[in-house]
Amino acid sequence: MATVKVTDDSFENDVLKSDTPVLVDFWAEWCGPCKQIGPALEELAKEYDGKVTIAKINIDDNPQTPSRYGVRGIPTLMVFRGGKVADTRVGAMPKSKMAEWISDITSV
């Protein structure tokens, strides 16, 4: 499965009410590091299919959600479990580090 695009309107259903952990990538078109980690997130979405959902929310098009969660820099990656933030990372990181982090925080 590919990454899931979420919006301010769909965030509650797609992320907070999800039965599986969700990694949310807060990003923007103009953000170089965001574009840098995009392909790795797509690969991770396929590798963790059925175990963890990888979601992306464009902060320019959807300003309410980043504001609600205090996103100040991008890319910001947050893992949600049971409707709550389980952990947060700010900045780009290699795919191997993202995979390690996802496995540690979600126990998959």
Catalytic residues: 31, 34
Tell me how many helices (H) and strands (E) the chain has: 4, 5
Residue type, 106: T
Measured over the CA atoms of residue 86, residue 89, residue 92 and residue 95, the dihedral's sign is negative
Token representation of residue 37 = 């980690």
Residues 6 or more apart in contact with residue 27 via CB below 8 angstroms = 34, 38, 56, 57, 58, 59, 74, 75
